[in-house]
Amino acid sequence: MPDLTIQRIQAGLRSKEFSARELTQNYLQTIAQKDGDIQAFLAVYSNQALETATRVDEIIASDGILEPLAGVPIAIKDNILIENQKATAGSKMLENYTALYDAGVIRKLKKHNAIFLGKTNLDEFAMGSSTENSAYQITKNPHDLTRVPGGSSGGSTAAVAAQMAPAALGSDTGGSIRQPAHFCGVVGLKPTYGSVSRSGLIAMASSLDQIGPITQTVADAAIVFDAISGNDPYDNTSTQEKNQNTFANLDTQKAKGMTVGLPKEYFESGSDPEVNKALEEVIQYYQSQGVVFKEISLPHTKYGLACYYIIQPAQVSSNLARFDTIRYSPVYGIDSQQHDLEKLYIHSRSLGFGQETQRRIMLGTFVLSSGYYDAYYKKAEEAREYIRDDFQKAFGEVDTILTPVAPTPAFKIGEKTQDPLSMYLSDIFSVPASLAGLPAISIPTRKQPDSLPIGFQIIGQHFHESDILNLGHLYEQV
Amino acid sequence: MKIAKDEIKHIATLAKLEIPEENLEKFSQEFDSILGYFDELNSLAPRPILSIQAKKQPLRQDDTNLPNHFEKTEAIIQGFPEKQDRFAKVPTAIKDHKDQN
């Protein structure tokens, strides 16, 4: 049973076409067949997955109530905590760390009786755009094994693209759901900051981090978003608003009446011709459906990347200061008795953190240090205000905004690892929505045979996930 | 802006990291190119930062018996890499006075 969507799984389970156990076995088999090459998973939970599946089958047999995600297998990025399972965040620093509690999203998914297939690979602590920064393995793009899947949620997007899971959770700080979704040809939703609880997500840049779904269709993304969003008493930044019920309210008619902004700054700046061509086709399709497009300007777009790569490392250096190897997990190869406390910190952190993580901790420490705070961190916070204002003004004229996700399709493994700045540039179109806390979705364009996947991005207003899901859903009605 | 190797070393000390001598030059070059990219922010006029003043900041009750009280203290203690009784064990933090000379 290849290529099943969540909607198809829901129908199949309810009509008893297949059982949750058969379904789960099927995915576990696909993982066993394909993951040797793709290396999307860091851990596979065969026994627990089958146990949950059996429980769901019992509910079905007794005609009990099934939540929307009951019996749906899901892969989880390995920076999200599941009680009594390891959570490495792709780092040697947490090689031996077992989570003590469930993340907010996991608690919600457990109430649904969703099935956790396993944990997926990521750039260390979710820092990176290629999944090459994982301390454990390099995930390959299922469409071309010589290319990266994008990052940092590359394990999750590769798992869904290779049909090793019908859905996955990722986390997005500056594009870490949307950019790998674009590289792998799947749907990736970064919700509004505050829509989804960050409790139990290993913190990277706390003012930007957000968990979101990775799926094959927009409708599936809406189903998962509805399940994981909403208030969580363990996260004070989580929304107090009522759930939007985006799936039940999916409405292509509403999308057809929308005015969509095309920010000229996103189309002027040297994207690959194939990216622009793919987007033209998308715009033409929407126009044929009655959607109105309007050119807009987001004049401070060019400051987005510099702003992001100051604020993000600054928050990284603060959040990662907690990893001292005393409280969570030892770093192997360090004899704690051979050092005094200060030396133990320094040696363990130098051995436990990878190169990119150390680079960002250093950058963050620098921009926050007393001589440079005003020149960098404060300046970046000001730039963030300008970027927020740009969007706010634009949303006075348009309902949603359509842009590319990244300037190029998936690049080759190793192509950008020697030049950090060129790697950072692949986030240029995804960071502004993150800085402004806005919801944004990456949706695959119609793929040409023999070409790499290309996605497009729709950005919406705060807590208007319904708008971008409706517009995305319209694109899938061909 | 050129960041000297000594400054890289100082930042490493603040960050509790150790950059091997042979990597200092590479680090310094990478910092140059990344910080150079940040310079364009200087063309922006200063402005007040407003958004961090959240509209509504919920405060938790001043009460130890909250429904979401964290109950897994024992598990945290069990998870310490090295422990003695209920304490995380660390190497010497403060050197003996006589050892310092």
Q: Is A156 within a domain? A: yes
**CA closest to A330 among chain B residues:** B81
Q: Measured between alpha carbons, how far is A197 from A243 in angstroms, rounded to an integer?
A: 13
pLDDT of residue B15: 96
pLDDT of residue A334: 80
CA angle centred on A415, ends A413 and A418, rounded to 5°? 115
Q: Which domains does chain B have, with CATH numbers?
A: 5-43 (1.10.20)
Question: What residues contact A368, with CB distance under 8 A and at least 6 apart?
Answer: A314, A317, A318, A377
Of A152, A197, A271, A442, the active-site residue reads A152
Residue B41 has its nearest CB partner, among A303, A326, A358, at A303
Q: How far is A271 from chain B (nearest CA, A)?
A: 19
Asked if B82 lies within 8 A of A366 by C-beta distance, the reply is no
Q: How far is A133 from chain B (nearest CA, A)?
A: 17
Residues of B in contact with A310 (CB under 8 A): 38, 41
Helices A218-228, A104-111: inter-axial angle, 10-degree rounding: 100
pLDDT of residue B1: 60
CA-wise closest residue to A402 among A459, A328, A473: A459
pLDDT of residue A54: 98
Of A176, A229, A271, A329, the active-site residue reads A176
Residues of B in contact with A240 (CB under 8 A): 56, 58
Residue B18 has its nearest CB partner, among A96, A350, A365, at A350
The position carrying tokens 């749907």 is: A187
Q: How far is A314 from chain B (nearest CA, A)?
A: 11
pLDDT of residue B79: 84
Asked if A340 lies within 8 A of B95 by C-beta distance, the reply is yes
pLDDT per residue of chain A (478 residues) written in tens, 0 to 9: 558 999 999 999 999 999 999 999 999 999 999 999 999 999 999 999 999 999 999 999 999 999 999 999 999 999 999 999 999 999 999 998 999 999 999 999 999 999 999 999 999 999 999 999 999 999 999 999 999 999 999 999 999 999 999 999 999 999 999 999 999 999 999 999 999 999 999 999 999 999 999 999 999 999 999 999 999 988 988 888 878 899 999 999 999 999 999 999 999 877 899 999 999 999 999 999 999 999 999 999 999 999 999 999 999 999 999 998 888 888 888 877 778 899 999 999 999 999 999 999 999 999 999 889 999 999 999 999 999 999 999 999 999 999 999 999 999 999 998 888 888 888 999 999 999 999 999 999 987 778 899 999 999 999 999 999 999 999 999 7
Structure tokens at A442: 């990456």
Verify whether residue A15 is a known catalytic residue: no
DSSP letter at A400 equals E
**CA closest to A328 among chain B residues:** B80
CATH at A115: 3.90.1300.10
Q: Is A204 within a domain? A: yes
Asked if B81 lies within 8 A of A339 by C-beta distance, the reply is no
pLDDT per residue of chain B (101 residues) written in tens, 0 to 9: 678 889 999 999 999 999 999 989 888 888 888 899 899 999 999 998 876 555 566 677 787 776 666 778 888 898 888 889 999 988 888 776 655 44
Q: Is A142 within a domain? A: yes
Verify whether residue A269 is a known catalytic residue: no
pLDDT of residue A328: 83
Question: How many separate domains does chain A show?
Answer: 1
Q: Is A446 within a domain? A: no
pLDDT of residue B56: 61
Q: Measured between alpha carbons, how far is A276 from A281 in angstroms, rounded to an integer?
A: 9
User: What range defines the domain where residue A72 resides?
Assistant: 6-228
pLDDT of residue B101: 42
pLDDT of residue A170: 98
Verify whether residue A302 is a known catalytic residue: no
B34 touches chain A (CB under 8 A): yes
pLDDT of residue A41: 98
Provide the β-strand partners of residue A211. Answer: A171
Long-range contacts of A341-349 (CB under 8 A, 24+ apart): A341/B90, A341/B91, A341/B92, A341/B93, A342/B16, A342/B93, A344/B90, A344/B91, A345/B16, A346/B16, A346/B17, A346/B18, A347/B18, A348/A93, A348/A324, A349/A93, A349/A323, A349/A324, A349/A325, A349/B15, A349/B16, A349/B17
With H, G, I as helix, E, B as strand and everything else as coil, classify residue A6. Answer: helix
Q: Is A217 within a domain? A: yes
Asked if A303 lies within 8 A of B44 by C-beta distance, the reply is yes
Of A77, A119, A140, A190, the active-site residue reads A77
B57 touches chain A (CB under 8 A): yes
Residue B79 has its nearest CB partner, among A98, A349, A420, at A98
Residue A327 has its nearest CB partner, among B38, B57, B88, at B88
ipTM for this prediction = 0.88
Q: Is A307 within a domain? A: no
With H, G, I as helix, E, B as strand and everything else as coil, classify residue A180. Answer: helix
Q: Is A313 within a domain? A: no
SS3 for B89-101 is CCCCCCCCHHHHC
DSSP string, A331-385: PTT--GGGS-HHHHHHHHHHHHS-HHHHHHHHHHHHHHSTTTTIIIIIHHHHHHH
pLDDT of residue A241: 80
Q: Is A422 within a domain? A: no
Residues of A in contact with B46 (CB under 8 A): 382
Q: How far is A330 from chain B (nearest CA, A)?
A: 6
**CA closest to A235 among chain B residues:** B58
DSSP letter at B23 equals G
Provide the β-strand partners of residue A196. Answer: A229
Residues of A in contact with B49 (CB under 8 A): 378, 381-382, 384-385
